[in-house]
Amino acid sequence: MFFALTDEQQAFASTVTEFLADRFDLEAVRGVVEDPDGDGHPLTLWKGLADQGALAVLVPEEHDGLGLGLVDAQVVARALGAGVAPGPWLATVLAAEALRIAGSAEQQSRWLPALAAGETVGTVALRGEGGAWDGSGITVDVNDGRLNGSASPVDYPAVAGLIVVAATDASGTPGLYLVEAGASGLTVRDQHTYDGTARVGALEFADTPAEPLASGDTVAVQALLARGAVLNAADLVGVAREALTRTVAYDRDRNQFGVPVGSFQALKHALADLHVAVTMAEHAVLFAAHALDTDDPGTAIAVAVAGSKASDAAWNATGAMIQFFGGIGFTWEHEAHFFYKRARRRAPLFGSSAEHREALAALTF
Amino acid sequence: MDLTYTAEEEQFRQELRTWLAENIPTEWTRPGYWATLSDTESFEKRREWEARKTAAGFSGIQWPVEYGGRGGTPGMKAIYDEETVRAHAPQTVNVLGLTFLAPTIMAIGTEEQKAEIIGPMLRNEVIWCQGFSEPGAGSDLAAVATRGVLDGDEYVVNGQKIWTTNAMHGDKIFTIVRTEAGSEKHKGLSMLLIDMNQPGVEARPLKQMSGASEFGEVFFTDARVKATDCLGEIGQGWRTAMLLLSFERGASGVGQYTEFRRQYDDIVAQAKRFGRADDPVARQELARCLVELECLRYHAMHILTQVEQGKDLGSESSMTKLQWSEAFQDLWEAFEHVLGPEATLAAPRPDVDLSPFHAQDHWSRSVTIWGGSSQVQRNIVAERVLGLPR
Ligand SMILES: Cc1cc2nc3c(=O)[nH]c(=O)nc-3n(C[C@H](O)[C@H](O)[C@H](O)COP(=O)(O)OP(=O)(O)OC[C@H]3O[C@@H](n4cnc5c(N)ncnc54)[C@H](O)[C@@H]3O)c2cc1C
């Protein structure tokens, strides 16, 4: 039994964490947050991540990747969440996953090396306004290799060179399609998310030419959504842990009534419960990543548990962060809102906590 | 990540499974079977069965062979916990002795204690009680007032213990006694091993909210115990008690998960029967419970990994206790919420018996109290894990 990260995986986590601390700390994050019209994609950060193999982690070795699994990828996602790091990491990794899962050999060799090296930014458009994250919420149609419809919210569409779009064909079957930046009939509109650590837009397709992924069928769409759910959950767990750690550190030192506020049992018990919840969410993400890596028969349950637990943990830990910092936590100058807003933007992506629970009911009732 | 057991451990699983299949009567697997028996009948049946299990080599899985154990691995213990639940094996009758006293004796007992206590305990010839709590000393264990006064080579003990599990079946009791007159708090305490079958010891049953009487009160009136029947040194009772309580950390989340997950499935089946399974609120509430139970399962694998690597779990065990006890209690709250009025009826229909559900439901109120209440566990997590000031 080995339910833990290996030494190499821990070292990988430290590398990314230390890189962020050195080269892209909260001051740098603030720079991105306070420049809402900027592309939210600092190149120093992107290059650094590429240098560490953070973009290549899931790409097979024959396409210049590291050929590792989701357990390794979630290490990166957690570190990025903890650092509230901006940029299209998850979007690019998922675009590459779509190619790895469903692309032809030719499509893979055309795109994967560039995605792994960070030369091309990728993104995925898997759902339309108001839709569910299970393939039923797709609002793009495909006919004769042309896409029509819309997708939203999409991460970092303005900087993406390659977009993987889920679209339904005339028979109602979903599949995956490649659209290149600047394709005819493609419009990208910035949707101005309040989470300043991301850039999010809506896509409109009007007879936009698209290339089908060789085996981009329903199964591939589901596989991509599951991977998205787990890596998004990993980011949320990173956010949650860091929010909790910062809150505990502050409440240890902050004095009121002549004692540290962290000595009050009302805070202690709330923080202890959060510690348990965040730890369980960490376990859940690790297990779900491993389940996907090994094609465990319980994967669907594991993904839903991770998605649900991680969003609840992040939601609660970041709300508590503001509350237990008091007034300072409510200010713009404080970093609590970076964590809070990131948690709330990400919690509903790839299925909200309640949607994951409904999936669990459907799986076990 | 590698969530498999070794070949040797899987071999053990097969042997155990086979033995359980041959040695568990079918009627025992019926829901609520044990509740149809009186406390004494149930106890004696389990005592006899467990003695057979010991003879077959399926007790003391992780204990050294020299103590009559199997000398197995932590993985085998996890498998044991999982398989016994799966096979509907009954709960052990000597839980406090086996969980707490035996490992403490192996660690700090005298050679005589090792030789005299462990074997009979493993064979259930001697049932052990834990005499820690008193009317005035619960969470604040150091407030114990039961006192022992030296008279020759014996202590004469007076006082009262309460909430003593198996009080009516107990043969012996490991007891925290104030052996130094005028001492306070953690000082001057000793862990005395007192024979309950003597005139100075009287046990009285207490009826629990569920109606069962698994625990009771134990009164000491000039009870006598040899000064050598002390575990650890005289006056070092607090240290002994802390060591003893640390053995709860082995408690198996794998077995608990298996049990609670079956209960979840049973509750879902009732929700379907009573037309509640399509209600979105009911689905949300039950699924929320499932999330916590699955997390318990992952946590159990994490803990097993730590144990196999020889790491000291320390205060992390408080987190384990919180997770399992709160998840279990929430599951039974969901049962009530989801089934509504039907949940409160033992016989909502002629062919439906919900009394086994009620037994679990009511039991679930106790698990956040004993073994360190949830509030006490949160204090420990906050202070010793998160480092918040006292
Ligand atoms: C089913 C069952 C079996 C038991 N078996 C045994 C046994 O075999 N042997 C034995 O010795 N004991 C046994 N106990 C006793 C058990 O250990 C105690 O009930 C437990 O330690 C709590 O003590 P108390 O009941 O005195 O409650 P109290 O300590 O009086 O607690 C009352 C309330 O105050 C809260 N509280 C207490 N201290 C704090 C604090 N510092 N901060 C915040 N809140 C606090 C508690 O959480 C609880 O909610 C058993 C109990 C039960 C329910």
Residue B38: Cβ-neighbour burial (10 angstroms; 0-12, 13-18, 19+): exposed
Residue B290 has pLDDT above 80, yes or no: yes
The tokens of A214 are what?
């060789």
Does B285 share its domain with B381?
yes
Phi, psi of B231 (to 5 degrees): -95, 125
**Whether B305 and A4 lie within 8 Å, measured CB to CB:** yes
Does B218 share its domain with B297?
no
Q: Tokens 């919180």 — which residue?
A: B322
DSSP assignment of B272-308, as one string? HHTT-TT-HHHHHHHHHHHHHHHHHHHHHHHHHHHHH
Nearest to A242 by CA among A17, A88, A70: A17
For residue B6, the 8-state DSSP code is: P
In-domain check, residue B35: yes
B165-194 in b/e burial notation, b at 16+ Cβ within 10 A?
ebbbbbbbbbbbbbbbeeeeeeebbbbbbb
Mean pLDDT of chain B: 95
Q: Tokens 């679209």 — which residue?
A: A167
- Which of B370, B377, B379 has most ligand 1 atoms within 8 Å of CB, for mutation? B370
From the CA of A270, how many Å to the nearest CA of chain B?
A: 8
From the CA of A197, how many Å to the nearest CA of chain B?
A: 28
Does B253 share its domain with B373?
yes
Does A26 share its domain with A145?
no
Does A350 share its domain with A245?
yes
Does A227 share its domain with A356?
yes
Q: What's A316's domain CATH number?
A: 1.20.140.10
The tokens of B115 are what?
């030789």
Q: Radius of gyration over alpha carbons of chain A, in Å?
A: 20
Ligand 1, atom nearest to B137 Cα:
26
In-domain check, residue A316: yes
Pick from A240-249, B10-19, B24-33: least confident: B24-33
Nearest to A172 by CA among A231, A113, A217, A110: A217
Q: Which of B286, B323, B378 sits opposite A280 (nearest CB)?
A: B323
pLDDT score at B39: 84
Helix (H) or strand (E) holding B364: none
The tokens of A42 are what?
């600092």
Does B188 share its domain with B159?
yes
H helices present in chain B, as ranges: 7-23, 39-55, 74-86, 95-96, 102-108, 111-122, 237-246, 253-273, 280-308, 316-339, 355-363, 374-380
Q: Which of B287, B319, B379 sits opposite A361 (nearest CB)?
A: B287
Helix (H) or strand (E) holding B148: strand B147-151
d(CA A271, CA A301): 28
Does B202 share its domain with B143?
yes
Q: What's B21's domain CATH number?
A: 1.10.540
Nearest to B357 by CA among B366, B367, B347, B349: B347
Given a contact cutoff of 8 angstroms between Cβ atoms, the answer to whether B142 and B216 are in contact is no
Does A165 share its domain with A210?
yes
In-domain check, residue B121: no
In-domain check, residue A1: no
Confidence of residue B248 (pLDDT cuts 50, 70, 90): confident
In-domain check, residue B115: no
What would the pLDDT profile of A126-149 be if each residue is shown by its tens digit? 999 999 999 999 999 999 999 999
In-domain check, residue A211: yes
Residue B351: Cβ-neighbour burial (10 angstroms; 0-12, 13-18, 19+): exposed
Does A316 share its domain with A239?
yes
Final residue in a domain of this structure, among B33, B68, B93: B93
Would you say the ipTM is above 0.95? Answer: yes
pLDDT, greater one: A178 or B312: A178
Does B259 share its domain with B379?
yes
Given a contact cutoff of 8 angstroms between Cβ atoms, the answer to whether A200 and A128 are in contact is no
Mean pLDDT of chain A: 98
Surface of A (39-78) touching B: CB under 8 A: 71
How many separate domains does chain A show?
3
In-domain check, residue B112: no
**Whether A361 and B283 lie within 8 Å, measured CB to CB:** yes
- Bond preceding residue B103 cis, omega within 30 of 0: no
Does A173 share its domain with A76?
no
Does B337 share its domain with B378?
yes
What would the pLDDT profile of B98-117 be if each residue is shown by its tens digit? 999 999 999 999 999 999 99
What would the pLDDT profile of A71-98 be if each residue is shown by its tens digit? 999 999 999 999 999 999 999 999 999 9
* Beta pairing, strands A146-155 & A200-209: antiparallel
d(CA B170, CA B201): 11
Residues with CB under 6 Å of ligand 1 are B 96, 130-133, 138-139, 163-165, 215, 366, 369-370, 373, 375-376, 379
In-domain check, residue A353: yes
The tokens of B268 are what?
């879902």
In-domain check, residue A2: no
pLDDT score at B251: 63
Nearest to A334 by CA among A324, A343, A344: A324
d(CA A355, CA B206): 46
Given a contact cutoff of 8 angstroms between Cβ atoms, the answer to whether B68 and B76 are in contact is no
**Whether B283 and A365 lie within 8 Å, measured CB to CB:** yes
d(CA A329, CA A333): 9
For residue A90, the 8-state DSSP code is: H
Does A95 share its domain with A126?
no
In-domain check, residue B40: yes
B321, A1, B54, B46: CA torsion to nearest 10: 40
Confidence of residue B250 (pLDDT cuts 50, 70, 90): low
Does B265 share its domain with B342?
yes
Residue B12 has pLDDT above 90, yes or no: yes
Final residue in a domain of this structure, among A175, A195, A216: A216
Does A163 share its domain with A205?
yes
Given a contact cutoff of 8 angstroms between Cβ atoms, the answer to whether A120 and A91 are in contact is no
In-domain check, residue B173: yes
Could you say which of B202, B217, B248, B326 is catalytic?
B248
B57 C-alpha vs ligand 1 centroid, how far in Å? 35
Does B135 share its domain with B11?
no
The rounded Cα B277 to chain-centroid distance in angstroms is 33
Q: What's B266's domain CATH number?
A: 1.20.140.10
User: Whole domain around residue A160: which residue ranges?
Assistant: 122-216
Does A153 share its domain with A193?
yes
Residue B249 has pLDDT above 90, yes or no: no
Does B20 share its domain with B74?
yes
For residue B383, the 8-state DSSP code is: I
Q: What's A40's domain CATH number?
A: 1.10.540.10
H helices present in chain A, as ranges: 7-23, 26-33, 43-51, 70-82, 89-102, 105-117, 218-253, 265-294, 299-325, 336-346, 353-364
Does B254 share its domain with B212?
no
pLDDT score at A352: 98
Q: For B39-66, what is the mean pLDDT?
A: 93
Does A169 share its domain with A288?
no
Does B254 share its domain with B351?
yes
User: Whole domain around residue B336: which residue ranges?
Assistant: 248-385
Angle at B222 between CA B217 and CA B224, to 5 degrees: 95
Instruction: Determine the residue among B291, B309, B319, B324 to mutate to test chain A binding: the one whose Cβ has the most chain A Cβ atoms within 10 Å.
Output: B291
In-domain check, residue A14: yes
Residue of B nearest to A271 (CA): B382
Confidence of residue B240 (pLDDT cuts 50, 70, 90): very high
**Whether A272 and B382 lie within 8 Å, measured CB to CB:** yes
Final residue in a domain of this structure, among B93, B119, B151: B93
Ligand 1, atom nearest to B133 Cα:
11
DSSP assignment of A303-321, as one string? HHHHHHHHHHHHHHHHHHH
CA–CA distances in Å: residue A191 to residues A161, A194, A203, A206, A352: 19, 9, 10, 19, 20
Does A162 share its domain with A256?
no
In-domain check, residue B106: no
How many separate domains does chain B show?
3
Final residue in a domain of this structure, among A184, A216, A248: A216
Does A224 share its domain with A332?
yes
Final residue in a domain of this structure, among B235, B268, B294: B235
B316 C-alpha vs ligand 1 centroid, how far in Å? 20
In-domain check, residue A156: yes
What would the pLDDT profile of A165-200 be if each residue is shown by its tens digit? 999 999 999 999 999 999 999 999 999 999 999 999
In-domain check, residue B276: yes
Final residue in a domain of this structure, among A197, A216, A235: A216
Q: What's A138's domain CATH number?
A: 2.40.110.10
In-domain check, residue A265: yes
